[in-house]
Structure 1
């Protein structure tokens, strides 16, 4: 079977590009070319190119490793996007020009970002990839930030690359690009702008920082499309549907959503033609998605891991567990304001999406990097619910599930290290004891942004300790059954 490429003859039942990709130049440099970017931003861009053309293809930058480049570059950037719903269908995406990776990644990325043809630098590096604190400031303890501040002329991290490229464009008299975060950070544009300005001031001086402040746009966005990790089955399905071997195939769900603040420095693709929504204020949409979809995801990931459920669909196949997901969605919805949207209908749609039997979204994948996710997904709505007097037990259950996940032990009784930027601090926190009364203060000391004093005191604190104690003593399955029997508290 021949490899998918620009010269591959269209075959199979997949939809192939309805335009000639090589006729268009790249106008986007995308940092962090993972599965989500290929299922979301590049899919939207591909549809716009098919509709009206334009120099909006993307150059991908792989900041960690060469595997993505090794899969995509021999395929001329082509890959198969598999959409799994009631029926499975596929599209071959042509919006990607090539991928930069490897030894000369930073130098080549800076060159691409400095070109006048680059009008947008978009980003999907997950919450931990930026080097931004939960309050939205530059995290000088982050390894990439620390290294790039030491050598700002040779950066390798996201913020260092953005600032160096903008400084070069300013020196050359080139119009700045727009910086477009597509990660699950609340107020992602504002936080990224603040961190960039702090880095620029320290590394390049106020002249560069002032120019960035005045000239560069950082629109906030809300993105939504469930995209699991690719498997051997993904590649086999791509081969069947395209008639070609594809080592970079991605699978996703039919649903997608993209809400974007319409504030760009140098133009943009007409993504609205593919269904994107441009608004003045993304904030309410961010709250809705982070608190409902992402918050419920985190809750079910930790409780799913503790109850032996490998995939989100397995959680939803358990009636008791599924009822707790719906309970969480209802409690989270009560904290969402400022949207003329039927949140009950949105919650119902989310539960249906989670239950999609064709999507193998691993709970272990969602459970990664909890310290980067939980402040906005669980802590913020919990604090607001406490103040408003709306139900808080679902948030206490989510936090107790996370704490119990951190406290897991191996066969020798040693704590299991989690995949998290604060893994060392979390490991130390759970090493001192195995009971809730010992664990919670230690975890709170390590993560005050997740367990602030307001959630450790009073009725909420007592509820949190009670739930964690029950999970540790009785096991998650028993607690799931009991919590489900309580109904919609």
Structure 2
């Protein structure tokens, strides 16, 4: 698959975290914008591919950035060639990240780096105990003493790469820019802005010539977003499905559902694509939309992931057909809806979610959703659980989600978590259940009725395996795009 004689759009957007979700969401919206011919995306991967994994940036580069989006409904598949990515590079090519961010034509940076990729501490600030993040900060402090652009390269974390690129832009005098986080973090814009300013202040404190933090405050607009489109991992034969249906050879097609949603809040000082043409919504306050999606969709996904895996289900569609799990999800939706504005019509949103979850042709695997549970449970479940506890109510749906996460570790299920080392230490503690709950929120679970009910749930879910003191395999990494 290669471009025809029509020229590619000029590179005016940079994306960090090239994966299936970006290609199903932001790249798709950009391709459908009225002014798509003016907005090309230069996309960068995250970590280097593991042995045996497909090198997505390299494969996309061989296809001139083109790929097929397969929208899968109960009635069949729709195939669309998306052409908004005009260049694809590995994430470690920080020299190219810097060069594009230093280019005045670049107006927007979007990010899909997963919740764990922001390297946040429990208080929401940057985790200054993270060795990789500290190494990136040290590299930036050293670079501040010289004018050599090569000194700004080599960052390994997403915040480090973005900060180095923004420093390259500051040095180039390339003007203002908008940063658009598209991950499932509540207040993602505020968290990214606060994290970057805090990291820039650390760099400035090391003797930086000129203030990076001050420049960021004046020149970087950080957008808050809510993003929604179920995007499972592509099945092994998807490329063959595309070839049979379209006659095109495509090494990196993406499968997704027909539904999509994107809500944005903030200013774009250097312009942006007309994403509204594809259905995006620009609002004054994204928080209610964000909470509705994070709790009702993502929270239900996490509940189904851990409770479903414990019940030997494989996909969301299978798990939601389990009557016990469906009742639990519906209970969770009721708990969360009590804390959402009435005009968002959480009941209608939940009914639509039920139909989306039951789409058996979108094979959304619970193992994929289960990645990075220590971060996801804190973000998706605990806000509602705290609110219900403050109101003096039990929250069976929320409590089941937490109990199932703990029980999945106690039962030895092979889970992936960016905080895998911390999870492993908790599992090896004298009281592993207490240690796992303390990772989430010790005040919420220690000596409280909520904690007692969650522990009872863990005991019921673990059953005969309660005697084990160790979890199963816990990989200290994250999927390319946890759902």
TM bucket by the smaller chain?
Answer: 0.7 to 0.9
Q: 1:404 Cα deviation (Å)?
A: 0.3
Could you tell me which residue of structure 2 aligns to residue 68 of structure 1?
A: 56
Matches for 1:86-97 after TM superposition, within 5 Å: 86=74, 87-97=76-86
Instruction: Flag structure 2 segments of 5+ consecutive residues without an equivalent.
Output: 50-54, 141-151, 467-483
Is the counterpart of residue 40 in structure 1 residue 25 in structure 2? yes
Q: 1:263 Cα deviation (Å)?
A: 1.4
Taking a change above 3 Å as real, the CA distance of residues 332 and 44 of structure 1, as seen in their structure-2 partners, is same
User: Is contact 1:259-1:282 (8 Å) kept?
Assistant: yes
Separation in 2 of the partners of 1:119 and 1:144?
28
Is the counterpart of residue 440 in structure 1 residue 430 in structure 2? no
Could you tell me which residue of structure 2 aligns to residue 460 of structure 1?
A: 450
Matches for 1:78-93 after TM superposition, within 5 Å: 78-86=66-74, 87-93=76-82
Could you tell me which residue of structure 2 aligns to residue 188 of structure 1?
A: 188
Matches for 1:371-410 after TM superposition, within 5 Å: 371-409=374-412
Could you tell me which residue of structure 1 aligns to residue 262 of structure 2?
A: 258
User: Is contact 1:181-1:221 (8 Å) kept?
Assistant: yes
User: Is contact 1:100-1:109 (8 Å) kept?
Assistant: no
Deviates more, 1:173-182 or 1:251-260: 173-182
Separation in 2 of the partners of 1:320 and 1:208?
53
Q: Deviations over 1:336-360 (max 9, x none)?
A: 23x6221111111111111111011
Partner-residue secondary structure (3-state), 1:117:
coil
Separation in 2 of the partners of 1:352 and 1:330?
17
Q: 1:366 Cα deviation (Å)?
A: 0.5
User: Is contact 2:36-2:84 (8 Å) kept?
Assistant: no
* Aligned match for 2:344, one of 334, 341, 346: 341
Q: What is the RMSD computed on CA atoms of the aligned residues?
A: 1.9
Q: 1:233 Cα deviation (Å)?
A: 2.6
Is the counterpart of residue 312 in structure 1 residue 302 in structure 2? no
Separation in 2 of the partners of 1:364 and 1:323?
21
Q: Deviations over 1:164-214 (max 9, x none)?
A: 222222222211221110000110011001111111111144722112112
Could you tell me which residue of structure 1 aligns to residue 148 of structure 2?
A: none
Separation in 2 of the partners of 1:192 and 1:23?
31
> How many corresponding residue pairs?
444
Could you tell me which residue of structure 1 aligns to residue 243 of structure 2?
A: 239
Could you tell me which residue of structure 2 aligns to residue 59 of structure 1?
A: 42
Deviates more, 1:220-229 or 1:112-121: 112-121
Separation in 2 of the partners of 1:118 and 1:261?
20
Deviates more, 1:129-138 or 1:295-304: 129-138
User: Is contact 1:312-1:362 (8 Å) kept?
Assistant: yes
Separation in 2 of the partners of 1:239 and 1:469?
49
* Aligned match for 2:422, one of 422, 425, 437: 425
Taking a change above 3 Å as real, the CA distance of residues 456 and 419 of structure 1, as seen in their structure-2 partners, is same
Is the counterpart of residue 144 in structure 1 residue 132 in structure 2? yes
* TM-score (norm. length: structure 1): 0.87
Could you tell me which residue of structure 1 aligns to residue 477 of structure 2?
A: none
Q: Deviations over 1:441-466 (max 9, x none)?
A: 22233x0xx23323333321221111
Q: Deviations over 1:370-393 (max 9, x none)?
A: 112111211111001111244411
Could you tell me which residue of structure 2 aligns to residue 412 of structure 1?
A: none
Instruction: Flag structure 1 segments of 5+ consecutive residues without an equivalent.
Output: 9-19, 410-415, 477-489
Separation in 2 of the partners of 1:444 and 1:467?
13
